[in-house]
Amino acid sequence: MAGYKFDYETKVWGGEKLRVSPIHFRASRLYFALQELKNKKGKLLDVGCGAGDFIEAFSFYLPKLDFTGIDISKKAIDRAKSRKIKAKFLVSGAEKLPFKNNSFDMVTCFDVLEHVKNPTQMIKEMYRVLKVGGTFYAFIPTEDNIFSPEGLLIKLGWKAKEIYGGHPHHYNREYVLKLLKAAGFRINKIKYGEHFTNQIIEIFYFSYLSIRGKNTDVTVEGYLAKNKKGFGVYILNLIKNFFSTISYFEARLLCNLSGGLGIHLTCTKK
């Protein structure tokens, strides 16, 4: 699959600031995660942390936790370290974590499972390093949903996201739950996301990259974080804020309605 050839040193995710604010595209992911983690204590591992946007946000809202982030990209980890927050960042693949059994009270994972060659092994590793009774929280795309705009396009042969986003796997809800239960997790709560607005944005974004024939080294928000001056940047920022705000309130409103392109999962290690 084309997604397996993706070079994670050429494009870095998670370099922008993230808060529970409608103007951030991933704000709904952060909001739902904080609802599950806000009363927790101890050590948290974020698997596939990118440039550390979630850990930086967690450190702002949950400053008493002890944070560790791992990512396969050295460039992403270098950028995460440059944030100068109280956290450990390590270069590591998700399918062989460099930690002892039962090392963490919480493990989080946002938009990562669809990237790895062996998702079963990745889940087993996250289960292994989590303490018994510990919380696993994840957002996992479920792009094998034909009743969604993006899922339908993928079924029809659209490969722009696979090639330019590194998504070789297209899961459905049942398959993800089966993997987690087989590893030993107890599923406590499921919420749904990416119902419409984010899908339309992604379709235009990845289709543009496909037509362009070349990827960008950062996301749209990453670009705006680096380039803060100019009329074009101002207009792009207004457009981004408009659509991200719609996306945020859509996610909050429809979180209990199945049929989106992703699931928020809260699990416990039995």
Mean pLDDT by 10 residues, the chain (270 residues): 78 91 95 97 97 97 98 96 95 97 98 95 98 98 92 94 92 95 97 94 94 89 79 89 96 93 96
Residue 87: which CATH number? 3.40.50.150
Give the per-residue pLDDT at 141: 95
Query: Containing domain of residue 10, as a range?
Result: 2-269
For position 3, what pLDDT does the model report? 61
Residue 171's nearest CA partner among 237, 117, 254, 114 is 114
Burial class (CB in 10 A: 0-12, 13-18, 19+), 233: middle
Which residues sit opposite 43 in a β-bridge?
Answer: 66
Q: How far apart are CA 152 and CA 175, in angstroms?
A: 18
Burial of 218 (0-12, 13-18, 19+ CB in 10 A): buried
Would you say how long the chain is, in residues?
270
Per the rule left: phi > 0, alpha: psi between -120 and 50, beta: everything else, 257 is beta
Return phi, psi of residue 140, to 5°. Answer: -125, 120
Helix or strand (DSSP H, E) at 139: strand 130-141
Q: Could you tell me if 118 and 95 are in contact, meaning their C-beta atoms sit under 8 angstroms apart?
A: yes
Count: domains in the chain: 1
Q: Closest by alpha carbon to 30, among 268, 197, 251? A: 251
Looking at residue 172, its pLDDT comes to: 93
Q: Which pLDDT value is given to residue 2?
A: 62
Measured CA angle at 126 (ends 121, 130), to 5 deg: 145
